A and B are shown apart, each in its own frame.
Chain A
Amino acid sequence: MSQNGAAPARVEEVVSPGGLVAYLIHEPMLPIVSIVCQFRGGAGLDPPGRAGLAAMTANLLDEGAGPLDSEAFHRALDDDAINLSIQATRDNWLVSLRTLTPRCQRACQLLRWALTEPRFDEEPVARVRSQMQAAVRRRATDPDYVAGRAWREAAFDGHPYAQPTRGSLESLAAITVDELRALGAGRLCRDGLAIGVSGDITATELAPLLDEVFGELPSAVDLCVPSPVHVRPGLRISPMPIPQSVVHFGLDGIARQDPDFYAALIANYVLGGGGFSSRLLEEIREKRGLAYSVHSRLEVDLAAPLWLGSLATGNEQAALALDLVRQELRRMAAGELDEAELVGAKTYLTGSFPLQLTNNNAVARALAGMRGWGLGRDFLDRYATLIAAVTLEDVRRVAAMLFSRPLVISIAGDPKGIDPSL
């Protein structure tokens, strides 16, 4: 099965008079326009002791901007049913704007103010700080968060990637308004900006809007990008008085631009990415009933791409479940993988690809990602070919390379029978 007979995607490259580029799929079926843009420089660039700066900035960009204070800004969004979301990931800022077509102009004006004239008034700064601190306190009881946090601290001790992207009680308390302005919003620039648009808007209508929204941003700023880093192997246990242990495990992964990325995608599908079709789920859940959820994924953060997995199992079974994870990693590393598994992974990855592109937000996000990674305008059409080109030999070679790498393991809970020296 190839791409299920999907029609070629009608991706247009729109260039504004000011030279900004966006990918667009014009889809007039509903009166909706979705715009997603990605800026370089997310939480991974937070200075030491200021973890959460990018996230706090993101939370404050729509809390008053231009002539509107926080209440007026939110009322403007709500009254015209405009959805604006701004998040900081480790390497990027991700901005999503969704509006009804008749309000597109207004929506773009609000977005421009948020990006170029955020106010950081006293009330919203204090409020957002207290909200983020409350979220820190709330996450402290979430074993999944605790295990993930400890995993990063163990793997990246001393590197910016070890910091919590949403901050700690202390780092959030320390952030000042000057820092929000200079080190937060001051990082936003046109260099590296990737824009995807989907919905009821033509290329001719979009081009001038791009300049209106993004034209006032500085063309480039100095970004202190984190240096590449490898994980430091080890095992960390965070004791919590709970009936179930949450286990996070992971190792050095593969960069998005690496030619072997698609082989790694297939290897991960077989091992833990493929839901009920994955080996980890088969061994740990289906055969033995040890866990409800167990899965793995590839993360492609720039300074440290990762392969990461997690599971949750009763404390008494944690050692057994972890042994099974190691066993499946060894099988992959030894090249145990057959043609049927390869074909199954390929048909899923190519067949399910169009399923993700059925609404405007998802399409705009995919287009922005394509711009950001430099995948080219025809990527949606090339994807199936890229997957099809991967051979069994490729997957075995990449699996052998990846899954023989040293593991970092982090467990939150009260696990029994785990030897901490492993």
Chain B
Amino acid sequence: MTAPLPNGDLVADGVFHPQTCRLDNGLDVVLVQNHRAAVVAHWLWYRVGTADSPPGKSGLPHFLEHLMFKGTARIPPGQFSKIVARNGGNDNAFTSYDFTAYFQMIAKDRLPLVMEMEADRMTNLRLDDATVYPERDVIIEERRQRVDNDPNSLFFEQLSALQHLHHPYRLPVIGWMHEIESYRREDAEAFYRQWYAPNNAALVVVGDVTMDELHPLAEQHYGGIPARSLPERWRPAEPPQHAERRVVLADPRVRQPSLIRSYLAPSYCSQGAEHAAPLEVLAELLGGGETSRLYRRLVVEQGLAVAAGASYSPTMRDGSTLRLFASPRDSVGLDMLESALDAELERLLRDGVADDELVRTRRRLLAELIYARDSLNTAAHALGATLAIGLTPANLEAWPRRIAAVTTEDLAAAAATVLDRRRSVTGRLLTAAG
């Protein structure tokens, strides 16, 4: 227990060591074995999400996600989760821009049961008005709870909408209220028939099971569902951004202002994908925790902010954003805070990053991977999201080598490409005067 932290060993080989196969109907099957407890996490991912909303029906994929619990010929409305619970399991689902995922966590001997039920609702969903329209009311309440009741969420929704002029990443996952109110049962049914098919899905299982056990179960429950011809997954492309955008939300409820700067950035799937790994390192270096540059400078040294950080998600199908945020100390104005943020970014562009700062940041990211393996759902989530945006498990497994190979030159190139004010949105959340 006294050896030095094995920097080299962290990079060794792979992350989750998944096993994969594909059924004849096109369903991808991925397994990560973890025999710590007699438990499995069973996840089904569909390659469709908010950014595939039909025009005028923003958030419809999320509405369908709710309706997937409304029953089939064999499972009565509202019984899906109850059956899982009666078998000692937990279940839920969520929708994101590029995918929709359904999951159960349950004792290993109940895996066939949840596979049967999940496969059943892939093709046999039965909707009627008596269950669909109360659920639309639930979505309205969900939107009020998550967004309309909270000026911070409203602010974030406006900023995200402004970041994309044309690409549907501008839409809120929950949908705009007036469009939620317009959902019809037929809208959800058409969307379901169009996108829910084995050749548009990936099954990810993590836990106490082997491929010899899983593969026949997958064949038995999912294998009989025929593939369908899928529509082209086409989305309008974002035009080049030539002018910076700014959004100010002033609300009398706000007592603690905040500032966000968001830049269009490449992802692992988009043009400029070579910058994605350096951007992951850059986001950690700028805003990952209390030794990061923004925290040290804005919060500790200059005492201008109470919080500062960065976020960047490289697993987006059509490009991503690099976001920097800061929240001012009492009596500090946002002009001063924004100047300090810009000064930090200019310093990065001008002076670059020293070798030892890069090495530390890389090592921190790599160590987090070991912790990631300590959770069934983290593995399922990382693999599912990777498959759902069109990458392979091999892409994910190469992540440690990719991060370990990032150089200071790569960071400089990524920073120069992304940190251009003309490709940014700056948002300010303020207290309304009076």
Q: Across the interface, which residues of A come within 8 angstroms of B105, CB to CB?
A: 355
Q: List the B residue with the shortest CB-CB distance to A143.
A: B149
Closest Cβ–Cβ distance, residue B404 to chain A (whole Å): 15
Supply 26 A–B pairs (Cβ within 8 Å), ascending by A: A4-B88, A29-B36, A32-B370, A71-B296, A74-B290, A78-B360, A79-B364, A102-B6, A104-B1, A127-B299, A142-B150, A205-B1, A240-B253, A243-B148, A244-B145, A244-B149, A274-B85, A276-B85, A282-B78, A289-B141, A312-B141, A344-B82, A351-B88, A352-B90, A355-B37, A358-B37
Closest Cβ–Cβ distance, residue B296 to chain A (whole Å): 7
Q: A31-B370, A351-B107 are in contact. List 19 more A-B contacts (CB 8 A).
A: A4-B109, A79-B363, A100-B367, A102-B1, A126-B303, A135-B256, A244-B149, A276-B82, A282-B78, A289-B133, A289-B137, A290-B137, A293-B145, A347-B87, A348-B88, A353-B88, A354-B39, A355-B106, A358-B37
Q: Across the interface, which residues of B come within 8 angstroms of A48, CB to CB?
A: none
Q: Across the interface, which residues of A come within 8 angstroms of B142, CB to CB?
A: 292-293
> Is B289 close to A, CB under 8 A?
yes
Q: Are B144 and A314 in contact (CB under 8 A)?
A: yes
Q: Are A354 and B37 in contact (CB under 8 A)?
A: yes
- The residue that B330 contacts in the complex, of A133, A314, A353, with Cβ under 8 A, is A133
Q: Are A355 and B145 in contact (CB under 8 A)?
A: no
Q: Are B141 and A141 in contact (CB under 8 A)?
A: no
Q: Are A102 and B36 in contact (CB under 8 A)?
A: no
> Is B152 close to A, CB under 8 A?
yes
> Is B291 close to A, CB under 8 A?
yes
In whole angstroms, how far apart are the Cα atoms of A5 and B37 in the complex?
10
* Given the contacts A291-B141, A292-B138, A134 and B367 also touching, CB distance less than 8 Å: no
Q: Are A286 and B134 in contact (CB under 8 A)?
A: yes
The interface bits of chain A over 21-62 (1 if a CB of B lies within 8 angstroms of the residue's CB, else 0) are: 000000101111000000000000000000000000000000
Q: Across the interface, which residues of A come within 8 angstroms of B69, CB to CB?
A: 276
Q: Are B135 and A312 in contact (CB under 8 A)?
A: no
Q: Across the interface, which residues of B come within 8 angstroms of A205, CB to CB?
A: 1
* Given the contacts A289-B137, A292-B138, A312-B141, A105 and B150 also touching, CB distance less than 8 Å: no
* Given the contacts A105-B1, A292-B138, A358 and B39 also touching, CB distance less than 8 Å: yes
The interface bits of chain B over 279-291 (1 if a CB of A lies within 8 angstroms of the residue's CB, else 0) are: 0000000000111
Q: Are B138 and A6 in contact (CB under 8 A)?
A: no
Q: Across the interface, which residues of B come within 8 angstroms of A344, CB to CB?
A: 82, 85-86
Q: Are A71 and B291 in contact (CB under 8 A)?
A: yes
> Is A149 close to B, CB under 8 A?
no
- The residue that B144 contacts in the complex, of A98, A141, A240, A312, with Cβ under 8 A, is A312
* Given the contacts A79-B363, A242-B148, A352-B89, A289 and B136 also touching, CB distance less than 8 Å: yes
- The residue that A81 contacts in the complex, of B2, B149, B367, B376, with Cβ under 8 A, is B367
Closest Cβ–Cβ distance, residue B271 to chain A (whole Å): 33
Closest Cβ–Cβ distance, residue A85 to chain B (whole Å): 12
> Is B214 close to A, CB under 8 A?
no
> Is B343 close to A, CB under 8 A?
no
Q: Are B4 and A102 in contact (CB under 8 A)?
A: yes
Number of cross-chain contacts by CB at 8 Å: 209
Q: List the B residue with the shortest CB-CB distance to A313.
A: B141
Q: Across the interface, which residues of A come within 8 angstroms of B364, CB to CB?
A: 78-79, 81
Residue total for B at the interface (Cβ-Cβ under 8 A): 73
In whole angstroms, how far apart are the Cα atoms of A240 and B69 in the complex?
34
The interface bits of chain A over 134-145 (1 if a CB of B lies within 8 angstroms of the residue's CB, else 0) are: 110110111100
Q: Are A243 and B363 in contact (CB under 8 A)?
A: no
In whole angstroms, how far apart are the Cα atoms of A53 and B240 in the complex?
52
Q: Across the interface, which residues of A come within 8 angstroms of B373, CB to CB?
A: 30
Q: Are A359 and B368 in contact (CB under 8 A)?
A: no
> Is B163 close to A, CB under 8 A?
no
In whole angstroms, how far apart are the Cα atoms of A276 and B79 in the complex?
9
Q: Across the interface, which residues of B come within 8 angstroms of A143, CB to CB?
A: 149-150
Closest Cβ–Cβ distance, residue A399 to chain B (whole Å): 19
In whole angstroms, how far apart are the Cα atoms of A80 and B146 in the complex?
37
Near B by CB (< 8 A), chain A positions 159-208 give: 201, 205
Q: Across the interface, which residues of B come within 8 angstroms of A246, CB to CB?
A: 149
Near B by CB (< 8 A), chain A positions 310-351 give: 312-314, 344, 347-348, 350-351
Q: List the B residue with the shortest CB-CB distance to A1.
A: B88
In whole angstroms, how far apart are the Cα atoms of A79 and B359 in the complex?
10
The interface bits of chain B over 95-134 (1 if a CB of A lies within 8 angstroms of the residue's CB, else 0) are: 0000000000111111000000000000000000000011
Q: Across the interface, which residues of B come within 8 angstroms of A141, CB to CB?
A: 150-152, 253-256
Q: List the A residue with the shortest CB-CB distance to B146.
A: A292
The interface bits of chain A over 244-281 (1 if a CB of B lies within 8 angstroms of the residue's CB, else 0) are: 10100000000000000000000000000011110000
* Given the contacts A101-B1, A102-B4, A348 and B253 also touching, CB distance less than 8 Å: no
> Is A297 close to B, CB under 8 A?
no
Q: Across the interface, which residues of A come within 8 angstroms of B78, CB to CB?
A: 276, 282, 286
